[in-house]
Amino acid sequence: MSVHASNVTKPVDAMNPESLPDATHEDAAKGLSAIVDHSASTSNVTHNIHAPIHTLINAHWVQSLIPGIEKLAVNYHCGNYVIVRGSNEPFFETMPLYARLGMHLLFYGKEQVKVLGNKRVDELLREQSVKQGKIYDDPKSVESIPSFIEAYSIQVDELLEPDISKYRNFNEFFFRKLRPDARPIQNEHDKNVICSAADCRLTVFVSVDVAKAFWVKGRGFSIPNLLNLPATSPIIESFQDASLAIFRLAPADYHRFHCPIDCEVGDFENVTGHFYTVNPQAVNEPGFDVLTANTRSILYLKHIPTGKLVAYVAIGALLVGSIQWTGGKQKGTILKRGDELGYFAYGGSTIVIVFPKEIVEFDADLVSNSEKPIETLVKVGYSIGKVLAPATEN
């Protein structure tokens, strides 16, 4: 299906309903909780939190929990356009049920005191995220792996361990490892090249102002808020007019994240926050802060060829149980492009990499897509840009 640029300039649904047709906030809250519980009792992932919103027309188990959800699925585009790199044809990626409910609870209560019964919305989302993590850590959850592979067309032949009976729970499969040759580094011998940090939907911006013009609409989005630092910090001064790369991981993606540059590991910080959905419809919502409000881990990397500091921000999200670092927390460690840094437990999530001003020139196709705006589907190791300050050979 051909989609003209004018049809993808708003990645959010321009007809976003003010509410679910026949449901209250309480219905949505109870529905989200019940659907998370339901994921513990069914092995078919398309009958629980993973259910694509467009499949709910005949899903009576959901309709009984959330009145009117099927009308939402019929009348509104509950998903996002994404373009596969190297293609000119955007495809429509359907939103999972849990992301739609999470956004409903946030968007349509954001101007109010967000209280549902005796719980605030942010407390509810945190509670459900922790609960879902525990469900998928349970050995019984392995029963969901076959339907997950089928629903999301997972390429089992890429896996380091292709025998799915060897995984001890669903989460272990979710943050599965790939064969060493499954994600080769493009232009590996060119030290000026920057590579993708994840299998993801990518947007890139030459500056924060450009990112806010096209993509990140939260009023509170800024580099100091993202990095949890005062505006007067020397680190923040080094990131004036910084360039950004935003890597969004969907549930189907390989969920280990990697190093985009040759670097030396620097300081590390965990920032406690919320568990809001990081779906583009949330990031693009005017006045709503996601990237600077969520739980996140920040790792500073010294880019070896230029000596410049780069900030690598792993951001948690709705139903993401945890952010785990496997190769990047030891200060002074030397890393190469493509080296593993860590993984997300269950759920889609996001990485934001902050580059100092004028250190990186992003690839033209990524810039063009981001300014439409539309995300580009890329994989770990793909070239996403080059360093403007030339690297020198050792």
Taking only the tens place, the pLDDT of each residue in 245-262 is 999 998 889 999 999 999
Residue from 38, 77, 255, 258 carrying the catalytic annotation: 258
Beta strands in the chain (DSSP E): 79-84, 90-94, 115-116, 119-120, 193-195, 200-205, 243-249, 256-258, 263-271, 296-303, 309-315, 323-325, 334-335, 340-344, 349-355, 360-362, 375-378, 383-387
CA 99 from centre of chain: 12
Q: Which pTM was predicted?
A: 0.89
* Average pLDDT for 136-158: 93
Can you read off the two tokens belonging to residue 267? Answer: 């300081």
pLDDT in tens, 358-379: 889 999 999 999 999 999 999 9
Q: Report the pLDDT averaged over residues 61-89.
A: 77
The verdict on whether 144 is a catalytic residue reads no
Whether 312 has a pLDDT exceeding 70, the answer reads yes
Q: Find the helix or strand (DSSP H, E) in which 282 lies.
A: helix 280-283
pLDDT at 119: 60
For 35, the enclosing helix (H) or strand (E) is helix 25-38
Is 25 a residue whose pLDDT tops 80?
no
- Specify the pLDDT at position 51: 72
Task: Tell me if residue 349 is catalytic.
Answer: yes
Point out the catalytic residue in the list 39, 129, 199, 383: 199
> In Å, what is the CA distance from 275 to each residue of 124, 125, 133, 226, 283?
9, 6, 13, 15, 13
Over pLDDT 70: what percentage of the chain? Answer: 85
Structure tokens at 248: 């969004």
The pLDDT, as a whole number, for residue 88 is 80
What would the two tokens of residue 100 be? Answer: 């739609």
pLDDT at 311: 97
Catalytic residue among 243, 322, 349, 383: 349
Average pLDDT over residues 93-97: 81
Kindly report, residue by residue over 26-57, the tens digit of the pLDDT.
777 888 888 888 888 888 877 777 777 766 65
Taking the C-alpha atoms of residue 365 and residue 368, their distance in angstroms, rounded to an integer, is 5
What local confidence, expressed as pLDDT, does residue 56 receive?
A: 64
In whole angstroms, give the CA distance from residue 354 to residue 309.
9
